[in-house]
Amino acid sequence: MALPTESLRPVLVSDASVPLSSLAPGSRATVTDVDASTPEGRRLLELGFLPETDIRVVRRAPLGDPIAFYLRGGQICLRRTEAARIQVLTTDADPET
């Protein structure tokens, strides 16, 4: 859970992008940027991890990796290393799912 010092800071959940891999299950987020410098990164775009896409973190596998995401009408799982290429802003708004 959050450290006490952090909880004293103003609550600005979405002031900066974080890697998608860092979000807890149940979180909702919007993609801001994808590292598409490699074929792996470009594949993430083709799978629908595009800027402004709403994503919900569904769950982690029992051993913590991979992670299942719900986006664009379907569920896709990625390993942590792949999900780390995707930068997101956490959102509170319910994405249209």
Partner 1 sequence: MNTAAATAPLRLGLVGSPNSGKTTLFNALTGLRAKVGNYPGVTVERREGSADFEGRRSVVIDLPGAYSLSPVSPDEEVVVRVLDGGLNGAPEALAVVADACTLERSLLMLAQVLRRGIPTCLVLTMTDELLARGGRLDIPRLERALGIPVIGVVGHRGIGIAKLKQLLARPEDWSRPHLMPPDEIHARAGWVESILEHVLIRHPGRSQKSDAVDRIVLHPVVGPLLFAAVMVAFFQLIFAWAQPAMDLIEVGVARLGGLVHSQLPAGLWADFLADGLIAGVGSVIIFVPQIALLFTLLYLLQDIGYMARAAFVIDRVMAGVGLEGRAFVSLLSSYACAVPGIMATRTIPSPRHRLVTILVAPLMTCSARLPVYALLIGAFVPAISVAGPLGLQGLVLLALYAAGSLTALLVASVLTRTLLQEDAMPFYMELPPYRMPTAKLLASQVWRSTWAFLRRAGTIILAVSIVLWCLLTFPRAQVPAGASAAEAGRYALEHSLAGRAGHAIEPLIEPLGFDWKIGIGLIASLAAREVIVATLAQIYAASDQETSLRAAVQNDIDPRTGKKVFDAATVASLLVFFVFALQCMSTLAIMRRETNSWRWPAFAFSYLLVLAYAASFGTHRIVAHLLG
- Which residues bind to partner 1, rule: CB under 8 A? 36, 39-40, 42-48, 50-51, 58-59, 61-66, 68, 70, 72-79, 82, 96-97
Between CA 77 and CA 50 the distance in angstroms is 15
Q: Closest separation between CB of residue 65 and partner 1, Å? A: 5
Looking at the Cβ atoms of 16 and 43, the one nearer to partner 1 is: 43
Looking at the Cβ atoms of 15 and 94, the one nearer to partner 1 is: 94
Looking at the Cβ atoms of 10 and 62, the one nearer to partner 1 is: 62
Q: Closest separation between CB of residue 28 and partner 1, Å? A: 13
Burial tier of 64 (Cβ tally within 10 Å: 0-12, 13-18, 19+): exposed
DSSP 51-93: TT-EEEEEEE-TTS-SEEEEETTEEEEE-HHHHTTEEEEE--S
